[in-house]
Structure 1
Amino acid sequence: MTFSQLEIFVLVAELKGFTSAASRLSITQSAVSHAIKALESELGVELINRHQSTLELTAIGEQLLLRARAILGLTETMRQEASDARGMKRGTLRIGSFGPTSSVKLLPLILDAYRKEYPGIEVHVDEGRDREVVQWLQDRRIDVGFAVLPDERFDTFALAEDQMVALVPAAHPLAAKADISLKELAPGPFIMTEAGSAQLVGNLFNAAKLIPNTRYRSTQLISTLSLVERGDGVTILAEQALPCVTGETGYVKRPLRPRVKRIIGLAVLDERQVSPAAQAFIKIALRLKRQGVLKQTESG
């Protein structure tokens, strides 16, 4: 068993195909197939169901994927520790991000400073839903991810705080209120976000023992805003996720009653095993927070 075989196996599993993995690695598809067959032969088990129309891992293949990611992660950490002794001139950093708050307002500022200090580190960014980033962390697919805090499953570092706000159509009766309660929003029609604060919004209604009249589920901010502007429903979003607009819009935002804060930060699976590249990223992010570069909205 070689590190190369494990790297190829992980890439095939993540990209869901031999051709995609070969293209990413700039090798032939036959080389990828040979590596997987050699790995299966050595282990004596089938890792991939080849009879499926789409690539699927076997049960043992799923288990090996987690082990392979852990082994490769430790290998990369060893390489980076050696590189760190030489001034962190090379290495790889895998980041998970979600929603406009982290992907648009936080990550670019941190990355800009990071690349200036460590130009030799290769950075990969995966964007998805908040729940997907959590899963990527648990699967060791990424080294560090943005998360809604607190989250007891990880070691975390708070970066920015804002508040959750209600969005209602400009002509809606609730638009005349100074703030809006969950009870007033529950009858809807409600537009449930499936992006950056899905878990938080769901928890809010559960804690209040309310069931929102959900008519729409949206993963894209622009679609959510369009639905509210057309008068199709109301929603709850994080204030920092909203675009900066100077003119009038077809919706109004109002703070929730009572106020609900949202904290965004970085999360790692285990701070003690974080690679030097990830440690440097967290250190720079916290420095920018102290300097006031990472803006926060007032929640009072």
Structure 2
Amino acid sequence: MDLRQLEHFVAAADEQHFTRAARKVNIVQSGLSASIRALEQEMGAPLFVRTTRKVELTVAGRVLYEKAQEIIAGIKEARRAVAAINGLERGTLSVGTCGSLHAFFDLPQLLGEFHAQHPSVEIKLCHGTATKLMESVKDGSVDIGFFPLYEKSREIVTIPIASDHLVVVHPMGHPIAGRENVPLESLAEETFVDFQPDKGTRKIVDRAFASTNVSRRSVLEVGDIQVLLDLVAYGFGIALVPKTFACARIAAAKSPKLGVVTLKKPHIAWDLVAACSGRAGAAQTRNPAVAAFTKLVEKIRSDAIAA
């Protein structure tokens, strides 16, 4: 049994005439008759009483007619629902982000533009660490995530949002003040204020030290960039942070102040990305809202580069 057979059957029942029913569904009468005969064979019962003037439903035909109408109506509703999703007349978009990314891009503005274009799509926003967001993007529980890329993975596809490098921030009066191009190895004896282990920046820093076989001592681990910078300024230790964060803090001219020195090249890269699942049938192809949002992300990024 297929949908066309049911449509042919319902048309014949409604018209009570095979010729008129065939015209209604736009096939030849012989084709409609053959379709209904095949349906009768599959159902194992005659569905019509045929006369020269008209056809009428049998008892079995009346039972099937009610069910067929329900099936056809359900399929039409399913088609409308899918069309609505594809046309972004409905649907959901789940977005994940790390904290303190406003220094690099305006996520509320981005979400606002998407909502203005597609007001019927429900937006779900969550916050998490880079580690958690990476896993959520991979398993599909988050459609698109914004976080520092601490490792490459075939399970995700990324759109570059911003590129930065890490610098050393230190309290005023620290012996390192005024130096330039400081080797990472020379920081082995320093005391560090660090991000928590599941933060993307922390993973980038850990990997950089591991690559040089240098260990360091962390006295405090925090989850917020402003708290980290305050602790450094109050003399708890030094830290490695993206240059943009350090410059923004200095420009704010808030007390207590801190200093910044650069690391010896090659710099430790810090890249902010928008990430989607890279698996077959991934979110950006399964969910049209993700594809639309991704295009908006790419457009805003292109506009920012052009400016």
TM-score (norm 2): 0.64
Contact in 1 for aligned 2:193/2:237 (Cα 8 Å): yes
1:273 and 2:279 matched: no
Structure 1 residue aligned with 2:253, among 233, 247, 250? 247
2:206 to 185, 202, 206: 202
Aligned residues of 1:130 and 1:198 also touching (Cα < 8 A): no
Shift of 1:84: 4.3
Structure 1: segments with no counterpart, 5+ residues: 1-77, 296-300
Q: Distance in 1 between matches of 2:194 and 2:172?
A: 19
1:218 aligns with 2:199: no
Q: Displacement of 1:199 after TM fit?
A: 1.2
1:256 counterpart (256, 259, 263)? 263
Task: Give the number of equivalent residue pairs.
Answer: 217
For residues 106-185 of structure 1, what are the structure 2 equivalents within 5 Å? Answer: 106-149=106-149, 151-152=152-153, 153-185=155-187
Change (3 A) 1:241 1:277: farther
Q: Deviations over 1:105-143 (max 9, x none)?
A: 342342232122122211111111111111222332211
Cα RMSD, aligned residues only: 2.6
Look up the match of 1:53.
none
> Residues of 2 paired with 1:84 and 1:103: CA distance?
34
Deviation track 1:2-38 (CA, whole Å, cap 9, x = no partner) reads: xxxxxxxxxxxxxxxxxxxxxxxxxxxxxxxxxxxxx
Structure 2 residue runs of 5 or longer lacking an equivalent are 1-78
Identity of aligned residues (%): 22
Cα deviation, residue 277, structure 1: 0.9
> Larger Cα Rg: Structure 1 or Structure 2?
2
Change (3 A) 1:252 1:111: same
Query: Structure 1 residue 291 and structure 2 residue 303: aligned?
Result: yes
Distance 2:231 2:131 in 1: 23
Question: How far 1:172 sits from its partner (Å)?
Answer: 0.5
Normalising by structure 1, we get a TM-score of 0.65
- Compared with structure 1, are the counterparts of its residues 147 and 223 closer, same or farther at alpha carbon in structure 2 (3 Å cutoff)? closer
Contact preservation (8 Å) 1:144, 1:278: yes
Larger deviation, residues 207-216 vs 97-106: 97-106
Local SS of the residue matching 1:151 = coil
Of stretches 115-124 and 95-104 in structure 1, the one that deviates more from structure 2 is: 95-104
**Hey, what does 2:242 align to over in structure 1?**
238
Distance 1:79 1:255 in 2: 58
The answer as to whether partners of 1:102 and 1:146 remain within 8 angstroms in 2 is no
TM superposition shift of 1:293: 6.6
Distance 1:140 1:123 in 2: 15
Kindly provide the CA deviation profile for residues 169-205 of structure 1, in whole angstroms up to 9, marking residues without a partner as x.
Answer: 1110111112333223232211121234121111111
SS of 2:173's equivalent? coil
- Tell me the SS of whatever aligns to 2:259: strand
